[in-house]
Structures are given as structure tokens and as C-alpha cells.
Structure 1
Amino acid sequence: MSFVSTNFLIFLFAAVAGYYLIPKKAQWMWLLLFSYLFYLSAGIEILFYLVFATLVTYGAGIGIEKTEKKKRVMLAAVLLDFGMLAFVKYFNFAVENLNALFGLGIAERNLLLPLGISFYTFQSVGYVIDVYRGKVKAEKNPFRFALFVSFFPQLLQGPIGRFDRLAGELYAQRSFSLLRMERGLQRMLWGYFKKMVLADRLSVTVNLIFSNYQQYSGWINVIGVLCYSIQLYADFSGGMDVVIGVAEMFGISMDENFKRPYFSRSISEFWHRWHITLGTWMKDYIFYPLSLSRGMKKFEKFAKKKFGKKTGRILPVCIANIVIFLVVGIWHGPAWKYICYGLFNGVIIAFSNLMAPAYKKGLAALHVPVQSWWWKGFQMLRTFVIVNISWFFDMGIDVKAALTMMRTTFQNVSLQPFRDGTLTCLGLDRENIVVVLFGCLIVFVVSVLQERGVKIRESLSEKNWLLRWIVYGLLVLALPLLGETGPIGGFIYAQF
């Protein structure tokens, strides 16, 4: 059931209405019921995977607290959860590569990839590790725990929740609040605006250019990757707005997943602002355990003797970052292009860490005013360019296509496409291009205000009720008037 559908709005109305009409002590059970109904709408056959992850994780949490072999129970649960994910998502990819390398002739399987499996698997594994570390107490009620794994707004594309943060939100008893409804609707409308006005409209141009990459070069490639950059941000952050808005209607506060990433001044900062909950998950459950492991400590001692104290201290961090982004690439999907996408980011961050001391000395020697507006602007532009280079791997058909597009971007570079009408032959006519530019301007202005600390939602809530609802009305009208009139696609990250 797509979040951008009439069926979902009807489903949401029934879920919210019932939530506040039934006895408060049963509210969490109502959420569990509707969460499973939501998942069942995609087909009963994929319910097995959700139930499997829930039972394994629930049992492991109880087992860790009752046995002395805590580490074994934790590792068993992690292997089972990730094993299920690896099987359904990566089995055919592994078979394809093994057959190509060794000519084994292993048959591929027709496996169904359950919706949102990466998100609820990572959330479940995080819970097991937190119980093992003693950070949280195991949930004794299996149905309450099932709600934590399956809460329907976050099921398809996150954010990846933590039990200590989310459990209290899910199980609390609440009374109806008109302000809460208003603020939830406010957030949803903003998400739908980004999704329908920008993301779905730009998908036409993006798909055309990336699917026919052999035909294009120069500025057309630049236009294609810039359109994808806007599409992906509008789609993913718009989806998060809808998720957080829906949860807010139930009084549930979810973690933010975006913080204006295109204002980042480094790739490392970009990943602290983009898909925040995935980044913090990787940091807490892979980066720290790896960088603090015995093997890494031994390597650090070796590196200090071989390369000096400063470099020796930085090298383990560099390796851990590369491993982290290799995992991030694999998480995105079973394709070499995603592995290259992850390694591209990891190598750049590792290299930046390694060169940071020399970089700092160079800036000081050149008397560069690092706090000046123009230097910060240069850093943002530099980071934006590097991020867009990485999008070639993310959106390209495969690694070969991505590398070809990178190469041909520097061929046939001329202003001819801006003069001969080529731009209007890329899936969008002049009117649609104007709508895209108008939508980008609105998103940019809002982002600048937020970056400067202006709390737009809070400020709007304090305005006269008539003014508030005029703004909401304009947003509602903008969706059918400016939104993409063709078939509305699902959210991109739901495929993960």
C-alpha cells in the first residue's frame, strides 16, 4: 500500500480514528493490528519474514537475560536475522558471481524480496545488541515487541528506531489533540509536496537519461545527475516527512533522518545529515566495535611504529570507515554498482581523515580565512560535486554505465543543448521545468531558514488559525495543480 494513494489515506483515517476512540490501555494493540494489516496489504506470503525476525529477536532478548552464554545467544540471533536478509536479498547476486567466476552452474531462485526487510532487520539486530550490552531490558510481552518491529509508518523506509527511544512512544496512552493532528498533517503535506511536485516529475528525465546513457554526454549528463540529486532528496526526505507526520498523529515522535545534507561542507558531514539513523546504526554497531577491537588495536601499534604516532592513530579509523561504507553499499542492494558507491564514499572519507593534518597546515600557510563565507561556500560546492559524482554509481544501470557517464560528461561540452531546445526533449516541457524550478526554490528557501535556526513549524503554529489553514489549503491545492499528473511511483527507499 503506497503512502501516496487514496487507499492509504482511508487506512490512516481508520487507524487514527480508532486509536482515540478505543480504551487507552488498548491503543498499542490497535497500532499492532493496523501495522500487520498494512503489511498484509502487500501479500500474505511476505508476512513470514517479519514474523521470523520478530520471534528470533524477541526470543534472543529473553534468552540473553536468562543465560550465562549471552554472547552466543546474541550472535545466533544476529546470524539468523542477517542470514535471512542475506538469503532473500543477496542469494541470486552471489550465485551469479560464483557462476561467472567458477562456472559452477548453480541455479538461481525466484525469491520474493519483502518490503522494508533491511529496515526492520537492522532495527531488530540493534535491539538484540542493546540487550546484550545491558543498554535496555528485554521486552517480556511478545505482542508489544512485535509492535516495535512492525510499526507501520516506519516499516517501508525507516527511520531505523532504537528500542530505548521508541518503546515508550509506542506504548504510551494518549488523548486526542487537534494540535497534534494539525502538526502531523502539516508534516505530511510538506512531504507530499516534495514527492509529487519534484521527485515524481523529475523521475521522467532521470530515467530517460540514465537508461539511454550511450546517447548523451556533456551537459546532458550533468543535468541528469543533478535531476537525480533533487529527485532522490525530495523522494527520501519527503517520505520521511510523511512517516514522521503519520506517527505524530498518534502522538509518537520519531527520529529525524535528514538535516539539510546539501549544505554539508565535507562528505563526512554529509553522512551525518543524510539517512541519519542508518549512519548512527553503523557507527554504534560496526564502527566502534571494529575500531576498538583487539585486532585493530594491534594494527594501530604496528602503524604507529611504521608510520609515526599521528598517522598510526588515524589509519585504523580510515580502515573502519572503508569497512562501514562497504557495508552501506552492500545494504543498498545486490549489485556491484552499490558496492562501488559505498567504497567511493568510504575511500574519500578515509583519505580526508588521513590528509586532515596536512590540509590544515596548507590552509594556514596560504592564510585562507576558513571561517569566511566564501570558503564555506566553496566547501559546500565541492562536497555537492563529489556527492553528485557518487550518484552515477547509485542511479547508473551498472558499474560500466556509471563509469561511461562519468567519462562522457567531459566530452562534447558545449552550450548547444541550452539553445537548440534539447532540454525540452528530456521528458519535461517548459511548463514542467518552471514547476520544478519553483518547487526547488521553495525547498531551498525553507532549508536556508531552517539552517539559520528558524523553526518554521513552530512559528506557523503560533500564527492566527485562519492564516495557518490558508497555508495548509495552498499546500493541498498545490498537490493536484503542481504535482505530477501521471502515475505516482512508490518511494525509492522502500525497495531496500
Structure 2
Amino acid sequence: MVFSSLLFVYIFLPINLLCYAVISDIKKKNICILFFSLIFYAWSSPAYLLIMMVSAFVSYIGAVAIDKFTKDEENPKHLRNRNLALGFTVAANLLILGVFKYTGFLCEIFNYFTGLPKVIPEIILPVGISFYTFQLVSYVVDVYRGEIEAEHNYGRVLLYASLFHQCIAGPIVRYKDIADDLKERKTNITSMNDGISRFCVGLAKKTILANTCASIIKDILPDEATASLASQVTVLGAWITCILYMIYIYLDFSAYSDMAIGLGKMTGFQYKENFNYPYISKSVTEFWRRWHISLSTFFRDYLYIPLGGNRRGIKRQIFNMFVVWALTGLWHGASFNFILWGLYFFVFLCIEKLFLLKLFDKIGNIAKAVIGRIYTLIVVFFGWILFRFEDFAVIKELVKSLFGLNGNAFTNLETNTIILNNFIFFIVVIIAVTPAVKMLANKIRSFGVNKEVAFVYFYNVLNVVIPVVLLFLSTVCLIGNSYNPFIYFRF
């Protein structure tokens, strides 16, 4: 089950909210959400629900042990046991993730050099395992650091790991950010309205915009394309599919974060923003401060800084960045193209750190804004090509096709037809990846507050009407379009 489905929108979610609303006791509310969360996860991956429960239990026991050993500081053995508890718990969680996500990849590498094993095991990846594993690791580490107290209620730890709002598609939520919400939270008409609005925006972003992008991309150059097909696509077609994929992956990723944040607001949980219009960035460094913020901050706080961050000289800092970005790529998928994708960004981040950002500062704000944005978009554009295709032969041929180096035509009737049929849509999705609509809404609201009361009513009406319209249009798209890809299955 995914958020962008009629089953979720019109059956699962209303029943969940109804049951939640008639319960007043916070403990029973938690049981209610836990029950629905386990059903939600089991619907997508019933055989692997036990894996999540085991990971949560290991983390629960580990955190309690760390807390116990920390409070008994007078016993030197307990300090050592505290470190062992942390190491065992984190290792156990990462081992579970590694077995399911990377066994086949490692076997392929070993087979390439030795010929063994003869048969590469095909292990189905439990949906969302990368997200809830990182969440549980952050919880245990935060207990070890003394930033939060260990939770002595296993049910709360399991609820934290399995919350259907974000367990299969993020954002990566830290326990300390919702610890208070798990014990006491309230909802009101304002938060419910904000939650519904945010969910409807995310749903529309996914069903109307992202899915349409994915459908056009599939018609031009599908993800399973061969090198031969990539070499035959027209120049204009190659640019369209790559630009659309760049737009699609933002719309899809951010849509699920929007829906998760909205669902949280409906039940009193406050999740942090996960995307902040990354395509307006003036550098790759800024891009990664705006893109998948929860993942970037996780690697910063739990890997980069513990490795030494930037405190041990430039050479050690570069090494730390190398480790972080290699693992960032590997986290996204068990394939060499993802590792290369991570290292690709590592190179540009190093270049910026060493001299490019200093150079940008010398050319003036206007030139920096223009040149910086163009440069960033170009870097990110080619980065998504590495991300999309696992076959390096396809990547090579597609890049050549972008510049007509395969003898491919500049355009053809099919490409021209796609452009003419979707011209307005292309303009809409380009606007959608910028803060233009948000800025307009803020202008209307501020104008009403400061000058005209009528605008306040206009803004309030829009807040009611727009979510209803978006929900209606999303429903029409879900009924009439069977193509509804879920990219998070690879995570």
C-alpha cells in the first residue's frame, strides 16, 4: 500500500483517522496508530514485518542497556559494557540491512573475480528498511550521547520505527524530534486543516505531476532501456527525458515527504521539512543542504562529524567526505552506479570547498546567482543520469545522444508530438520545482494582513477550496491512470 492509492486515501486513512478521533487516552491513541502502522507495512511487505519488529526490539534492548550502564559510572566495567552495547546494537541493525540489501551485490562482485557462487541469491528487499534502520541507529546513538533518555516501553520504540507516515518513504525522523509527541500530543482544527492541505498538495504532486513525468519518460527512454535504444533516441528526446527525470525525481521524493508531514499534522506529530526547493541552489553544497535534508543531516551527524569532520586538517576532511559520499551513494542502491553517483558529487563538493566557492564570492552577487545556479543545474543534471541507469553502457550512449555523437537525429515526428502535446505541462512542472507558488501565496496572505481585509477571506477560501480541487484531480488521475511507480522500493 502506498499513499498515492485509492485504497489508502479513501479506506485506510479515513478509518485510521476515525478510530484515532474517538479515542481520548494517549496510550490508546498510540496503540491505534501502531496497529494501523503494522497493517500498513504488512500490506506492502508481510513477510518482512518480523524483520522490522526484531530491529526495533534489538534497538530497544540496546538503548536500555546503554542507559543502565551510563547511570552506573562508578563501575569501570559498565563504561566498557556501554560501548559494547552501542557497538552490538548498531552492528546488528546494519547487519540486517546489509544482508537484505547488499548480499546479492557482494556475491556479484565475488563471482566476477572467483566465479563463485555459481548462483547469485535474489533476496527481496524489505520496503523501507533503509529508512527505519537509520532511524533506529540514530535513536541508539542519541541515547549513548546522552541527548535523549532510553525508552523503556518497547511499544513506543516499535511505533517510532513503524509509523506509517514515514516508515517506507521517509523522511528519516529522529526519536528526539518526536519523543514528546509519542507521550503527549494534541490536534486541533488548524493542525488538521494544515495536515490535510499538505497531504493533498503532496498527493497531487505525485499523481498529477510526477506520474505524468514518469509516463512521458517511459515513452521516450524507459529505465530498462538498452544501450542500443539509448544510442537511437533523438537529441531533443534525450534532453527532454533527462530534464524530465530531474524534475520527476524531485517531485516524487518531495511529494512523499509532503504527504508524510501532512499525515503527521493530522495526528499531532511534527516532522521536519525534508526538501527546500533544491533546484534554486547556487552551488552543489547548497543543493545538498536543500535536498533530502534528513538523509544529509544523518550522514553529517552520525558519520562525518564522528570521523572528525573538518577538525583535523584539509586532507582528513577530504577523506571524511569521501567515506560519507561513497556510503551515501551505496545507501541509495546496491550497484556501482550509485557509488559512482555519490563520488561524483564528492568531487564537486571538494572543488567547491577548495576554491570554487571562494571564486564565486569574488564575482559579485548577481553574477554569482546566475552562474552558480546554471553550474549547479548542469552538475545535478548529469548526476541524475548516473543515478537512473545501472548499466554504464546505457549511460555512455545516452550522454553521447545528448550531443548527437551517435549519429542520431536532432528530432523526429514522435519527439515533436510529445513536445506539442505536453508543452503546457512542461511549463507547469518547471514552475512546480521552484518556490514561485509559495511566494505568491505568501504575498496574498501578507497583502491581506497589511492592507485589505478582503484578501484575508480570499486566502482562507483558497485554503479550503484548493485541497478539495487537488484531491478531486488526484482521484481522477488514480482512477484513469494505472501507471503509478513507487521509486522507494529500491530503498
Q: TM above 0.5, one fold?
A: yes
1:438 aligns with 2:450: no
Contact 2:264 2:270 in 1 (8 A): yes
Match of 1:398 in 2: 391
Match of 1:90 in 2: 102
- How far did 1:479 drift? 2.9
Superimposed CA distance per residue, residues 52-90 of structure 1 (whole angstroms, 9 cap, x where no aligned partner): 110110000011122311111101111110001000011
- How far did 1:462 drift? 6.8
1-structure distance, mates of 2:108, 2:406:
38
Match of 1:308 in 2: none
- How far did 1:431 drift? 3.6
CA 1:43–1:286: 2 relative to 1, 3 Å? closer
Q: Partner amino acid for 1:281? A: F
Superimposed CA distance per residue, residues 157-200 of structure 1 (whole angstroms, 9 cap, x where no aligned partner): 1111111111212332425x233222111111111221122211
Match of 1:270 in 2: 287
From 467, 475, 489, give the equivalent of 1:472.
467
- How far did 1:27 drift? 1.1
Match of 1:388 in 2: 381
Superimposed CA distance per residue, residues 393-424 of structure 1 (whole angstroms, 9 cap, x where no aligned partner): 11124223223322332225999756x43424
CA 1:221–1:110: 2 relative to 1, 3 Å? same
2-structure distance, mates of 1:448, 1:469:
16
Superimposed CA distance per residue, residues 119-139 of structure 1 (whole angstroms, 9 cap, x where no aligned partner): 000000011111111111100
Superimposed CA distance per residue, residues 232-262 of structure 1 (whole angstroms, 9 cap, x where no aligned partner): 0111111111111111111211111000100
Match of 2:21 in 1: 20
1:100 aligns with 2:102: no
CA 1:355–1:424: 2 relative to 1, 3 Å? same
| SS of corresponding position for 2:221 | helix
2-structure distance, mates of 1:8, 1:226:
31
Q: Partner amino acid for 2:463? A: R
Contact 1:264 1:380 in 2 (8 A): yes
Out of 392-401 and 257-266, give the one that drifted further: 392-401
From 196, 203, 228, give the equivalent of 1:185.
196
Q: Partner amino acid for 2:350? A: A
Match of 2:154 in 1: 142
- How far did 1:467 drift? 4.1
CA 1:414–1:468: 2 relative to 1, 3 Å? farther
Match of 1:52 in 2: 54
1:334 aligns with 2:334: yes
1:227 aligns with 2:244: yes
2-structure distance, mates of 1:56, 1:454:
51
How high is the TM-score relative to the length of structure 1? 0.87
2-structure distance, mates of 1:65, 1:413:
62
Out of 201-210 and 342-351, give the one that drifted further: 201-210
- How far did 1:449 drift? 1.6
Aligned length: 467
2-structure distance, mates of 1:407, 1:58:
52
1:407 aligns with 2:400: yes
2-structure distance, mates of 1:97, 1:321:
24
Match of 2:84 in 1: 72
Q: Partner amino acid for 2:424? A: V
2-structure distance, mates of 1:417, 1:481:
36
Q: Partner amino acid for 2:337? A: K
Q: Partner amino acid for 1:178? A: I
How high is the TM-score relative to the length of structure 2? 0.88
From 158, 180, 198, give the equivalent of 2:170.
158
- How far did 1:442 drift? 4.9
CA 1:249–1:434: 2 relative to 1, 3 Å? same
Q: % of aligned pairs identical?
A: 27
CA 1:450–1:431: 2 relative to 1, 3 Å? same
Contact 1:319 1:350 in 2 (8 A): no
- 1:2-13 superposed matches below 5 A: 2-9=2-9, 10-13=11-14
Structure 1 gap segments, 5+ residues each: 301-312
Match of 2:33 in 1: 31
Q: Partner amino acid for 1:388? A: F
CA 1:494–1:169: 2 relative to 1, 3 Å? farther
Superimposed CA distance per residue, residues 402-461 of structure 1 (whole angstroms, 9 cap, x where no aligned partner): 23322332225999756x434246xx47444433433433553635728999989x9998
| SS of corresponding position for 1:291 | coil
Structure 2 gap segments, 5+ residues each: 70-77, 450-454
Superimposed CA distance per residue, residues 101-155 of structure 1 (whole angstroms, 9 cap, x where no aligned partner): 1222353323221110000000000111111111111000111111111111101
2-structure distance, mates of 1:98, 1:234:
37
CA 1:422–1:337: 2 relative to 1, 3 Å? same
Contact 1:119 1:160 in 2 (8 A): yes
Q: Partner amino acid for 1:437? A: I
From 251, 255, 273, give the equivalent of 1:238.
255
Q: Partner amino acid for 2:160? A: F
2-structure distance, mates of 1:166, 1:446:
31
CA 1:16–1:482: 2 relative to 1, 3 Å? closer
Match of 1:218 in 2: 235
1:421 aligns with 2:413: yes
Q: Partner amino acid for 1:16? A: L
Contact 2:197 2:463 in 1 (8 A): no
CA 1:180–1:14: 2 relative to 1, 3 Å? same
Out of 79-88 and 34-43, give the one that drifted further: 34-43
